[in-house]
Amino acid sequence: MYNTYFKQQAMQRMDALGAENIPFLFIVDYRMQKNIILPLDAVNTEDILFAIKGFGNIPGTNHIDKPLEFAAIPITFEEYLPKFNLVQTALQAGDSYLTNLTAETAVAMNYSLEEVFYKSRAPYKLLIQNHCAVFSPETFVTIENGIISTCPMKGTIDAAIPGAAQIILNDEKETAEQNTIVDLLRNDLNIISDDVRVERFRYVEEIESRGKRLLQVSSKIAGNLRPGYQKKIGSLLMAMLPAGSVTGAPKKRTVEIINEAEGYERGYYTGVFGCYANGKLDSGVMIRFIEKKENGYVFKSGGGITYLSDARKEYQEMIDKVYVPFT
């Protein structure tokens, strides 16, 4: 079994492991209160399974042939609307420019969390046994050759819509959302690195959602880490958390708005996890997330709200993100 650490303890542990060049796995929850930090050789497959772009601790293969039975039971629009309106009031008052609003959707399925982990397809996969399964398409940060990069995802559209890519790239609301998050993450990287630059702005990638294709818009921001960063891995990561793409801007006040509007605990959802070894790091944001509760499973999802947002469209986007990308 694993121990969990509060923010300061987790930061110090990651710094110490990095300084000793000991490869480790980190799982940081949204509030940074129940963080899991483990040397890679101490990760017990009975407790935690992970796969990061093909690297992980999956013991062999697991063939699951049964067809998926999956039904989503989202909150009603009438339940969602007060949350959206609270966020809009804060946006109109200038307390936030972008707020990531999420909610829980009850799901009924004939798969276990472990089966979902094995069957799902995503660059970042994580299973905390009997608790949650993550199959995320979104990079948090990578570090290689002293360069730190982050790739926030903002903006989703059904790929089957004629001209979908151009529609999403021309959308005023989505453009404003991406501008805000890129500016926020540039500021985050400026705290811990030098020569911060936007290397790619608003590029389109394809993902799969419950049998249909979605287009997702991302950007890439990078900076040069200062000498000795290997001894400060935890400090660097914690300085950027919670992740800007799943909070908003300005971050501190927006997190307060989120806490008031959502009315539930995100837990590990929208936290981050990843691996560090030999000066290199890769990590993902824990979105596309199923959690096991006493009365069944819930899928946590949401999206960025700006003053231009339409409540019906945001509600539908929240529902569209409730899926499992099976092979």
Residue-range domain boundaries for the chain: 7-148+225-320
* Residues 156/159/161/164 CA torsion (nearest 10 deg): 60
The single residue listed with the structure tokens 């799943």 is: 246
State the helix-helix crossing angle for 77-92 and 251-262, rounded to 10 degrees.
Answer: 150
Task: List residues bridging with 197 in a β-sheet.
Answer: 222
The single residue listed with the structure tokens 């151009």 is: 166
Task: List residues bridging with 153 in a β-sheet.
Answer: 218
State the helix-helix crossing angle for 311-320 and 77-92, rounded to 10 degrees.
Answer: 120
CA distance 215 to 56: 27
Predicted local confidence at residue 161, as pLDDT: 84
165 token code pair: 């890519």
For the chain, which ranges sit under pLDDT 70?
A: 61, 207-212, 327
Predicted local confidence at residue 325, as pLDDT: 87
The single residue listed with the structure tokens 């290689």 is: 144
Could you tell me which of 224, 45, 51 has the C-alpha nearest to residue 126? 51
Predicted local confidence at residue 208, as pLDDT: 63
Task: Mark out the alpha helices in 153-240 (DSSP H runs).
Answer: 164-170, 172-192, 233-239
CATH code, residues 7-148+225-320: 3.60.120.10
Q: Residue 146 phi/psi, 5° resolution?
A: 80, 5
**Is residue 297 a contact partner of residue 106, using CB atoms and an 8 Å limit?**
yes
Predicted local confidence at residue 212, as pLDDT: 64
> Element (H or E) spanning 39, and its range?
strand 36-39
Q: Residue 253 phi/psi, 5° resolution?
A: -70, -35
- What's this model's pTM, rounded to 2 decimal places? 0.93
Residue 282 carries which side chain, given as an amino acid letter? Answer: D
Could you tell me which of 94, 107, 88, 156 has the C-alpha nearest to residue 313? 156
CA distance 203 to 36: 33
Peptide bond preceding 250 in cis form (omega within 30 of 0): yes
Predicted local confidence at residue 2, as pLDDT: 87
Residue 10 carries which side chain, given as an amino acid letter? Answer: A
